[in-house]
Structure 1
Amino acid sequence: MIMNRILVSIVLVLVCFCFPTQCARILGVFPFAATSHYTLGNSLMKGLAAAGHDVTMISPFEENNPPKNGSYRNIVLTGFAEDFEKFRANTNLFESNHQSLLAPIFMVKMLSPMAEKALNHTNVKRLLDSGERFDVVIVEQFVNDAMKLFANHFHCPLILLSTVGANSWVNMIAGNPSPPAYVPHMLSSYPARMTFFQRVGNVIKYMMDNVLSTFVIMSIERNMAKKYFPDGPDLLDVYHDASIILLNSHESLNQALPLVPNMVEIGGYHVAPPKKLPQDLQEFLDNAKEGVVYFSLGSNLRSKDLPPEKRDMFLKALGKLKQKVLWKWETDVLPGQPANVKLGKWFPQQDILAHPNVKVFITHGGLLSTTETVYHGVPVLAIPVFGDQHRNARNAERNGFALSLPYKDPNFSEEKLSELLKELLTNQSYTENVKRRSRIFHDRPLKPMDTAVYWVEYVIRHKDTSHLRVAGATLPLYKYLLLDVIAFLAFISIAVVYILGIGLRYLLCRRRNKEVKKIKKN
């Protein structure tokens, strides 16, 4: 018996020696209190912990169900969630105009103070002064460039996560090409094939982004970086130093775009396999012989805040359906609630969309909801309100699995809602198209979370990933756009034309003089 134990111990030691487990210490910085942003940050960090790593996450929320593998520690930004709730209660998001040219300025005014508040938080200061070491820092890229210096402070590589995929601000960091001729601005609803005036508007939006980033955001963020990382480098010197940029996007969901080597798409990594539904929901869905329409406006927009006239339009349109309806409604009572409508303040959305009786998803067009509906193959009626919702709705329509009725559309009416719902419920092409998109979504070499884990571990293994960065990332705009070359060639062309013009005039004058002399001689 003793001999057997000794042999087993020797085998275990040899296994551990030959196949060492690499457990890295990873810091995630996700300071924004919007539930969708937290969901994406938390999903990534939990996935890394499940892969066996030691994870620390700065966020406004406490994770109550950490993964069993690895280690998961919260550094909670206390007060952030409560402040965000107050902001949401005092802001009518249904009336906001986040597609205007001034929308990026509104975002800066809202998000920059949030980032500074996070850096000034007692729990964050305690971590910065702790002397802890990390192997990599992951920061959500969202108007918070000063937080890039977390990586310098802890002497480790930096990874960025863009929760809205590739966009003009992220592209500037990586030097990623985004030709405005066919890449619509994130906050626009332009199609890929734009009209002339849409291209004019798109160029103006891109120019405003560049001006805003260069002269406003960078100034704010540099001052913030100097204030909270006084011994660190100038932000300009590390602005382009992201080892990898993880993108919450995929070509099954978004327009195909050029991506430089250190930009990696992991769209859908937050989606989990369906779990068992609560009994009441399971019975409701199972017994829906004609199917179910699921209606949710996400975590930031709330159905209860709909103005009475819009709410009544939905009530009448949904009440006409022979299908049952699940409506995420945030209070106990819905005036005029139809008999076929079941309410809930919260629903397990992913598990509901996985049920075969769900026929249509009425959504605001948020990226998480769009991703989940493609994952499970459910057609969409999109009601985009602000931000990237218009872009997501446009892409879903272009891919043939959705119809869209923007919240501020002048044709918004009960009749229009009924017409669109009838089309989605009776025309099988929408279901066929979303099932095809779902197959594309799932057909990848690796699952999205496995891809994310691989690239994080790649950065940890190699530390220096400068071989993945393009030189264009650090070129000034005039060089990147070849403005100096164009100006030089234009100057040379003008000079050549000017010299040729002078030469031609000289020859003409000389010839004329000869003719005059000849006439005089005769």
Structure 2
Amino acid sequence: MKSVVLFIALALACVVQCSKILVVFPMAAPSHYILGNALARGLAEAGHDVTMVSPFEEKNPPKKGKYRDVVLTGLLEEMRSNRNTNLPKFFELDKMNPFFSIVMINVMGDQISKSTMKHPNFQKLLKSNEQFDVVIIEQFLDDALKVLAYHYKAPLILLSTIGANAWVNNLVGNPAPLSYVPDVFLSYSSNMTFKQRLVNWLFTVAAELNRHLFYFPAQNKILKEHYPDAPDLSEINYNVSLVLLNSHESVNQAVPHVPNMIDIGGYHVNAPKELPKDLKDFMDSAKEGVVYFSLGSNIQPSQMTEDTRKAILGALGKIKQKVLWKWDEDTLPGKPDNVKISKWFPQQDVLAHPNIRLFITHGGLLSTTETIYHGVPILAFPVFGDQKMNAARAEMNGFGLTLYFSELTEERITDALNKLLNNPQYRENARRRSKLMHDRPVKPLDLAIYWTEFVIRHRGAPHLKVAGADLPLYKYLLLDVISFVILISISSVIVVCFVIKKICSKVCFRKNTKKLKKN
């Protein structure tokens, strides 16, 4: 009898706690996968059955729960090939007009959604009889994939890897005043000049027109090719239960959030681990400290121009600190004695070392989050996307400086290094930001797990959705009301003018009549 009761209890516990979760991160970039994988692993370790769709494979799956990969094999190579042939080189992007990024978005979105939908491993999953309790999709140029929520009849959760932005705000009716919320592709802080606010407005209008006239129709076409009976993307797009945001006020600008938007920035950061012996000895013996230099997982530093490389090496060779440079080749011509190169470093563990003094970075959000987590100032060489904005925020918050590859010289780099390494204010500001990130009532990964389970428990949690998400644009912006008020005002002015004219005409007529009688 006891064994029967125990079995029933375990079965009930599994029904309540063990959900089947589909996590889809099709972007073929390691930085995006790191974020998707961190959430998928966390959900699996919380006892759930997790299926992860991405171009990468987890080499060390979590021990708890269930975890499996549906690998989009070949997608990484395909996207790199298309990027090399269709798009500018990375080191040319920092001087690219931000309006060109609108066109790039159409190309990338078409590529990501088509390649994912037609992939045989993905098709095999779709054609199986498997069901899921919730679908989590990265909100990044893959809107056609939102049809998965329709396919599985499950609530839809989005994870925005770059925090709140125009791509998610409109989907959940979140306000984002253009007066102090710049677009992620612009290198502006919240304190914009008149010219910057004008550019921000123009860019937002152009981006919205592109989204609705070109991007969304193209994504809807991809959706309909695979699911002709599904609702249009214009309906599916707004059927979002929850948005998990890879952001936090310590890193990002404080902006409004509707109830179904949850900040979980920093959830991918792990407790520091022991460094490999050679690296540990190198950093432990650095009496003047260590400078860590990495341009992330997508940029190949060997592709920079020879002049740029010589300028960086010349500046690094002048400082007293040791340098760790993530370099993608076996040799680095002209390398100074204080520089150690490697194709890979355990970045989070390096930043956690007490001897680290500065992080030279491209300004990606993961790197920015990790450097703030560990309280390390930065010298940013931003290239593309949100990197310029992240760099601008670092300057505004006093824990970093920014230089662009197109303007790098040995003198400018040396001057920036001297300021950051010798002025303690930068490190103090970085540590102040770190305290803000750590001072939270709940760990961000635990928060993400809680809200995912909340959406499952409450069948999509429709009570969190604000009415603004369902309103057409003219109602949301009160354009009909404003038009009515303008029409009434103009009509009133016309009527008043007409009445005044009539009165004046009568007065003039009476005066003229009196004059005639006198005469």
- Measured against the shorter chain, the TM-score band is over 0.9
- Structure 2: distance between partners of 1:37 and 1:131: 29
- Structure 2: distance between partners of 1:482 and 1:133: 41
Alignment match, 2:53: 58
Aligned residue for 1:268, secondary structure, equals coil
Aligned residue for 1:246, secondary structure, equals strand
Task: Compute the displacement of 1:513 (Å).
Answer: 1.2
Task: Compute the displacement of 1:99 (Å).
Answer: 4.6
- Could you tell me which amino acid in structure 2 is paired with residue 456 of structure 1? T
Aligned residue for 1:73, secondary structure, equals strand
Check whether the contact 1:169–1:213 (CA below 8 A) recurs between aligned residues: no
Give ranges in structure 2 of 5+ residues lacking alignment: none
- Structure 2: distance between partners of 1:472 and 1:135: 26
Alignment match, 2:471: 475
Match of 1:333 among 331, 334, 349: 331
Aligned residue for 2:187, secondary structure, equals coil
Aligned residue for 1:393, secondary structure, equals helix
Task: Compute the displacement of 1:405 (Å).
Answer: 1.1
Match of 2:484 among 467, 483, 488: 488
Match of 1:422 among 390, 413, 418: 418
Task: Compute the displacement of 1:408 (Å).
Answer: 2.7
Alignment match, 2:460: 464
The structure-2 alpha-carbon separation of the partners of 1:22 and 1:150, relative to structure 1 and needing over 3 Å to count, comes to same
Give ranges in structure 1 of 5+ residues lacking alignment: 1-5
Check whether the contact 1:157–1:243 (CA below 8 A) recurs between aligned residues: yes
Match of 1:275 among 263, 273, 276: 273
Alignment match, 2:451: 455
Aligned residue for 2:406, secondary structure, equals coil
Task: Compute the displacement of 1:397 (Å).
Answer: 1.1
Task: Compute the displacement of 1:89 (Å).
Answer: 5.4
Check whether the contact 2:35–2:161 (CA below 8 A) recurs between aligned residues: yes
- Could you tell me which amino acid in structure 1 is paired with residue 115 of structure 2? K
The structure 1 segments of at least 4 consecutive aligned residues displaced by more than 3 Å after TM superposition are 9-21, 84-91
Alignment match, 1:84: 79
Task: Compute the displacement of 1:400 (Å).
Answer: 1.1
Check whether the contact 1:304–1:329 (CA below 8 A) recurs between aligned residues: yes
Check whether the contact 2:112–2:141 (CA below 8 A) recurs between aligned residues: no
Check whether the contact 1:390–1:406 (CA below 8 A) recurs between aligned residues: no
Alignment match, 1:195: 193
Q: Kindly report which structure 2 residues correspond to 1:162-201, keeping only aligned pairs within 5 A, or say none.
A: 162-201=160-199
Alignment match, 1:253: 251
- Structure 2: distance between partners of 1:78 and 1:11: 46
Q: What percent identity do the matched residue pairs reach?
A: 52
Aligned residue for 2:239, secondary structure, equals coil
Give the total of aligned pairs.
Answer: 514
- Could you tell me which amino acid in structure 2 is paired with residue 505 of structure 1? K
Alignment match, 1:3: none
- Structure 2: distance between partners of 1:72 and 1:99: 42
Alignment match, 2:66: 71
Aligned residue for 1:373, secondary structure, equals helix
Kindly indicate whether residue 65 of structure 2 is the aligned counterpart of residue 104 of structure 1: no
Check whether the contact 2:43–2:50 (CA below 8 A) recurs between aligned residues: yes
Check whether the contact 1:377–1:435 (CA below 8 A) recurs between aligned residues: yes
Match of 2:438 among 428, 439, 442: 442
Alignment match, 2:306: 308
Aligned residue for 1:342, secondary structure, equals strand
Check whether the contact 2:301–2:327 (CA below 8 A) recurs between aligned residues: yes
Deviation per CA, 1:289-333: give whole Å up to 9, x if none. Answer: 000000000011121111100001100000001100000111111
Aligned residue for 1:408, secondary structure, equals helix
Check whether the contact 2:156–2:460 (CA below 8 A) recurs between aligned residues: no
- Could you tell me which amino acid in structure 1 is paired with residue 346 of structure 2? P
Which shifted more, 365-374 or 109-118? Answer: 109-118
Alignment match, 1:209: 207
Task: Compute the displacement of 1:18 (Å).
Answer: 8.3
- Could you tell me which amino acid in structure 2 is paired with residue 439 of structure 1? K
Check whether the contact 1:99–1:187 (CA below 8 A) recurs between aligned residues: no
Check whether the contact 1:174–1:473 (CA below 8 A) recurs between aligned residues: yes
Check whether the contact 2:172–2:466 (CA below 8 A) recurs between aligned residues: yes
Task: Compute the displacement of 1:484 (Å).
Answer: 1.5
Task: Compute the displacement of 1:140 (Å).
Answer: 0.8
Check whether the contact 1:34–1:84 (CA below 8 A) recurs between aligned residues: no
Kindly indicate whether residue 45 of structure 2 is the aligned counterpart of residue 47 of structure 1: no
Q: Kindly report which structure 2 residues correspond to 1:351-366, keeping only aligned pairs within 5 A, or say none.
A: 351-366=349-364
- Structure 2: distance between partners of 1:197 and 1:357: 42
- Structure 2: distance between partners of 1:40 and 1:468: 25
Alignment match, 1:94: 91
Check whether the contact 2:174–2:257 (CA below 8 A) recurs between aligned residues: yes
- Structure 1: distance between partners of 2:24 and 2:229: 20
Alignment match, 1:507: 503
Provide the aligned C-alpha RMSD in A.
1.7
Check whether the contact 1:61–1:76 (CA below 8 A) recurs between aligned residues: yes
